[in-house]
Chains A and B, each alone.
Chain A
Amino acid sequence: AQSVTQLDSHVSVSEGTPVLLRCNYSSSYSPSLFWYVQHPNKGLQLLLKYTSAATLVKGINGFEAEFKKSETSFHLTKPSAHMSDAAEYFCVVSDRGRDDKIIFGKGTRLHILP
């Protein structure tokens, strides 16, 4: 069965500095991996997804993530944080070739310091 672990429940960075949100996954098959963002009182929005094409995936708002099979990781990065990036971020895994069930991590709350 698939699972996903987000290593940090809270991350604080200063505006203009890099962002790193960590995610490790476990999957019996070939996984699809996603990052979603949830702003307060807003719906979940897809940031980016990996589905076996390029291992470096670029998403919206300057975010990107790199799929590293050897490390079973899919960390989310952004070179320069903006105040509007403050939100909850979820790493999500789904087993391709098995079913379409998608599993969420517990989330990382990103705080941006002025």
Chain B
Amino acid sequence: GAGVSQSPRYKVAKRGQDVALRCDPISGHVSLFWYQQALGQGPEFLTYFQNEAQLDKSGLPSDRFFAERPEGSVSTLKIQRTQQEDSAVYLCASSLALGLTGINTEAFFGQGTRLTVV
């Protein structure tokens, strides 16, 4: 597709349930980011991939959060044993990063997945 695609758009989970959120980045984009945006807040960094390598996962709030991008394209953010405080919009973005120079072009964002834990 032309843009970053996230699925599902909306997810309601019972507390304690595991969820998996999918991100399809723009084809050929090297960098992929996951953000968590709580209601009324700015996006908070969760994790970052260059191709299949997870270079930074410092923003993952607990070991219940896990992200992968095994083939350097589609990424999945998994949350185990969901808690109410996990309720947020999860945003995925991709960018055409130019190798080690780290020159940014633009990060294109998906519409997000709104997770509600009840």
Contacts and interface: CB of A to CB of B under 8 A. Distances in A.
Contacts of A98: 102
10 contacts: A36-B109, A43-B112, A44-B43, A51-B103, A99-B55, A99-B56, A100-B31, A100-B104, A101-B48, A103-B45
A95 interface: yes
A44 B95 CA distance: 14
Contacts of A32: 103-104
Interface in B66-100: 91, 93, 95, 97
Interface residues of A, number: 24
A36 B43 CA distance: 11
Nearest to A107: B42
B43 A90 contact: yes
Contacts, number: 62
A30 to B, nearest CB: 10
Contacts of A58: none
Q: Is the interface of B mostly helix, strand, loop or mixed?
A: strand
Contacts of A95: 102
A46 B44 CA distance: 17
B95 to A, nearest CB: 6
B41 A107 contact: yes
Contact of A96 (B31, B104, B107): B104
Interface string A30-64: 00101010000011101001010000000000000
Contacts of B35: 104
B63 interface: no
Q: Give the most central of B35, B45, B55, B102: most A CB within 10 Å.
A: B102
Contact of A102 (B107, B110, B111, B112): B107
A106 interface: yes
A111 to B, nearest CB: 14
Contacts of B31: 100
A73 interface: no
Given A43-B112, A101-B48, A96 B101 contact: yes
A97 interface: yes
